[in-house]
Structure formats: structure tokens, C-alpha cells
């Protein structure tokens, strides 16, 4: 396992004021948003025994950064992680979790949520604490409730080690958030080789790095899209030039090739994914991606932009839909339908999958209330997409 330094500045020893070396964290972090469930979805019942096997194996292999949030897995994630990290595993890792800013109306709310999280995680101190999903619509709450100062006070009391934020908005607003406090230790960004201009993008990555912040990467595989590339991307991997490249390996090493990322989070949902990612993480060095690999990734970027009409990461922030529509599933079926048509113009697979969905989950049930678009980190025109999906896929 490779490690990189974490934290904005050298920390002061609480006893004698001497500088201490920065903490080093594994370049691969374990994300607890996609643990295995009985239905294969994030709203299913978590297989806690298998999750424990996966997480403990990852820690034994060198991962020391585990990421969760109060809302993950329908609210199950923190309590499950707290139980898994018993028997000495808590002391081996840094726990990262997040304050759901949208549920905060006052500092009392923040205190209550924070105490609930510590109880569920079975820890007095949370090592890494984030203001969750910062975007313009939540920024007023942060300012009105002085949540940055609130978190820094927790840090001063020793209840938090590092304070940061996760981000889903554009570059200009990202700069505003970074500059809102000189005390941010880190930020968490969505970033992968298809997303250099998405949200904060590459410019945001470099801006934060220049400011001295550590950077946590989320969605490195774009919700699994880059792990099992289809359409033109899939064809590239099957071509003569692509047969020696592996999708997951390239996606991770493209990130680790850059000096800015500190930790790359992976929401692993099977033991096989854990072992594969651990092996790749042993090669997590900066500046080692070969010219032919970089050239191939450029081709993949072009192919992705041509193939995927809806750039959904399956984060499910748009869910639950008040009308019962499974928005990410509709998008997945539509994207796969579009990709399939590139090789088989007469393919009916998309229409078949759409027809076999639960009727209550189909795009046709959208009443255009707009709540999904307010929550979407990608700012997708979800209502327009759902209308197009139903027009295209209904029999």
C-alpha cells in the first residue's frame, strides 16, 4: 500500500508545542456507500458479515482511511461501520463522516447529529469531519448557523482532528468556499478521467492543492461506469491497442499519477473488488503513467462523451422520488440502450428492461415536481431526461 501526507499544515503537539510529522493515509480509501446488500441496491439490507470481511481485510492490507456518512445506505452505514471496527480495528483507521447540512436549522441540530454519529460509530472522536455536499443551495445554512466555526470548535475540543467539506457545484463557487476559511484542512471532490471539466474539475483540484489542502477523490469510477465500460469505450478495450489495458487499473492510476490527490475513495461492494483495488493501490505512485496509457485515456475520454447521453454517477441524491420513480435506474437503462444501439441498431434490450421494471419506478410517473433537480450534484435536467426516456423506451 502506498501512502500520502494528510492535513493542511504540520500539526502541533498538544503537550510541548513541537512540530509533528503529518499523518500519512493510504492512497486508497474504503467508501461505505456501496456495501453489499440483499437486493444489490443502496436501499437494501446490508450483508454485515460480508461487509466486515471486506473492510477488515482492507485494513489488514494497509487501508487506514474509511469514509461514511449519516445518509449512506438509508442511514445504516455509520452504525454498521461502528460495529465492524470493534476488536481493535478502530485504532487502525481514520474515520471520515459528514454533517448533513440540509438537516441543520441551528447549532443544536448540528450538536445532536454529531453526538448521534459518535454513538453509532462507537467513538468519542471523529478523525475527519466534512460539511456534506456543499453547494450554493446549502451555503446559506452554513453561514447562518456558522457551521465552519462550529466544526472548528469541535476540533479545538479534540472531538474532531480534521475539518473539511465535500463539494458538488461549479468551479467559481468552489473557489468561494475554499477561500471562506483559512482553517480548512481538506476537501472532497468528484473527479475522474471523464470529469476534468465537471463541477470543480481539474481547475478546482489544482486550486485547492495550491492552497495547501489535502484532496479526497470520490467517484473515481463514475458509479461503476468506468469499471465496466460499454459502447465505444468497451470497443476500445477490446481493440488491439486496448487489449493490454484494464479499465479499473487505468482509472485509478490516472488519478494517482497526479500529485494532487491524497486519498481516492472506492465504494467497494464485493470482496473481489477489494482484492483487485488493493493490488492496484500498490502501484499508486505519481508520475508513473506511461505515454501510451495517457494516449489511450484520451481516446476513452472522447468515446465516453460520444456514448453516454446522461452523465449520471448513481449517487442517488435525487432519491427517493416523491412519485416513486427510480431515477438512476431509468438513466442506466437509457444509457445502456443508447450504447447498445451503436452496435445493434435493432436492439430491443433497453425497451425490454424498461418494460420489466416495476411500473411504479418507470419514468412515466414523473410529475415534474423538480425536487430531484434541486438535489442533483451534476445539475442534470432530470425532468427532461425522464420525459425523453419514456418516449424512447415505452413499447
Residue 214 maps to which CATH number?
3.20.20.100
Per-residue model confidence (pLDDT) at position 18 = 45
Omega prior to 122 cis, within 30 of 0: no
pLDDT at 183 over 90: yes
205 and 98 within one domain: yes
* Mean pLDDT for all residues in the chain: 90
Q: Which domain holds residue 384?
A: 327-393
pLDDT at 177 over 80: yes
- H/E run at residue 362: none
What residues have CB less than 8 Å from 114, skipping those under 6 apart?
99, 126, 154, 159
Per-residue model confidence (pLDDT) at position 292 = 94
Residue with cell 443502496: 42
368 and 274 within one domain: no
124 and 41 within one domain: yes
Q: How confident is the model at residue 338 (pLDDT cuts 50, 70, 90)?
A: confident
pLDDT at 23 over 70: yes
Closest to 253 in 3D by CA, of 223, 198, 310, 292: 292
Q: How confident is the model at residue 21 (pLDDT cuts 50, 70, 90)?
A: low
- Three-state DSSP state, 165: strand
- H/E run at residue 178: helix 171-178
Q: For residues 389 and 395, what is the distance between their CA atoms, to the nearest angstrom?
A: 11
In the listed set 272, 307, 342, which residue is the last one of a domain according to the structure?
307
Q: How confident is the model at residue 204 (pLDDT cuts 50, 70, 90)?
A: very high
pLDDT at 13 over 50: no
pLDDT at 179 over 50: yes
Q: For residues 240 and 244, what is the distance between their CA atoms, to the nearest angstrom?
A: 8
Count the domains in the chain: 2
150 and 61 within one domain: yes
Grid coordinates belonging to 122: 462507537
Mean pLDDT of 131-148: 91
> Phi/psi at 329 (nearest 5 deg)?
-65, -40
Q: For residues 386 and 153, what is the distance between their CA atoms, to the nearest angstrom?
A: 44
Mean pLDDT of 118-135: 95
108 and 221 within one domain: yes
Mean pLDDT of 31-42: 87
Amino acid at each position: 500500500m502506498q501512502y500520502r501526507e494528510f492535513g493542511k499544515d504540520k500539526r502541533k503537539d498538544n503537550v510541548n508545542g513541537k512540530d509533528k510529522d503529518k499523518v500519512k493515509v493510504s492512497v486508497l480509501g474504503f467508501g461505505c456507500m456501496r456495501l453489499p446488500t440483499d437486493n444489490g441496491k443502496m436501499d437494501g439490507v446490508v450483508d454485515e458479515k460480508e461487509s466486515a470481511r471486506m473492510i477488515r481485510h482492507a485494513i489488514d492490507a494497509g487501508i487506514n482511511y474509511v469514509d461514511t456518512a449519516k445518509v449512506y445506505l438509508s442511514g445504516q452505514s455509520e452504525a454498521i461501520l461502528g460495529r465492524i471496527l470493534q476488536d481493535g480495528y478502530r485504532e487502525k483507521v481514520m474515520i471520515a463522516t459528514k454533517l448533513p447540512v440540509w438537516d441543520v436549522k441551528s447549532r443544536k441540530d448540528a450538536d445532536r447529529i454529531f453526538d448521534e454519529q459518535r454513538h453509532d460509530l462507537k467513538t468519542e472522536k471523529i478523525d475527519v469531519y466534512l460539511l456534506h455536499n456543499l453547494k450554493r443551495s446549502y451555503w446559506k445554512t452554513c453561514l447562518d448557523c456558522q457551521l465552519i466555526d462550529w466544526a472548528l470548535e469541535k476540533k479545538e475540543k479534540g472531538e474532531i482532528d480534521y475539518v473539511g467539506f465535500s463539494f458538488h457545484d461549479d468551479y467559481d463557487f468552489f473557489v468561494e468556499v475554499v477561500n471562506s476559511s483559512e482553517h480548512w484542512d481538506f476537501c472532497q471532490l468528484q473527479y475522474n478521467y471523464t470529469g476534468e471539466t465537471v463541477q470543480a474539475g481539474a481547475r478546482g483540484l489544482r486550486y485547492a492543492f495550491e492552497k495547501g489542502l489535502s484532496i479526497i477523490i470520490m467517484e473515481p469510477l463514475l458509479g461503476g461506469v468506468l469499471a465496466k465500460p460499454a459502447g465505444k469505450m468497451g470497443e476500445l478495450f477490446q481493440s488491439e491497442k486496448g487489449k493490454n489495458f484494464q479499465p479499473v487499473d487505468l482509472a485509478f492510476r490516472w488519478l494517482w499519477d497526479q500529485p494532487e490527490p491524497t486519498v481516492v475513495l472506492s465504494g467497494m461492494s464485493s470482496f473481489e473488488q477489494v482484492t483487485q483495488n488493493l493490488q492496484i493501490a500498490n502501484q499508486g505512485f505519481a508520475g508513473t503513467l506511461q505515454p501510451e496509457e495517457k494516449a489511450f485515456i484520451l481516446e476513452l475520454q472522447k468515446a465516453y462523451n460520444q456514448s453516454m447521453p446522461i452523465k449520471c454517477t448513481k449517487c442517488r441524491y435525487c432519491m427517493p422520488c416523491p412519485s416513486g420513480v427510480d431515477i438512476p435506474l431509468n438513466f442506466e437503462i437509457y444509457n445502456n440502450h443508447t450504447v447498445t444501439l451503436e452496435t445493434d441498431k435493432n436492439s430491443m434490450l433497453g425497451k425490454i428492461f424498461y418494460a420489466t421494471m416495476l411500473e411504479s419506478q418507470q419514468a412515466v410517473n414523473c410529475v415534474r415536481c423538480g425536487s430531484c433537480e434541486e438535489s442533483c450534484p451534476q445539475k442534470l435536467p432530470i425532468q427532461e431526461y425522464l420525459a425523453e426516456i419514456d418516449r424512447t423506451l415505452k413499447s
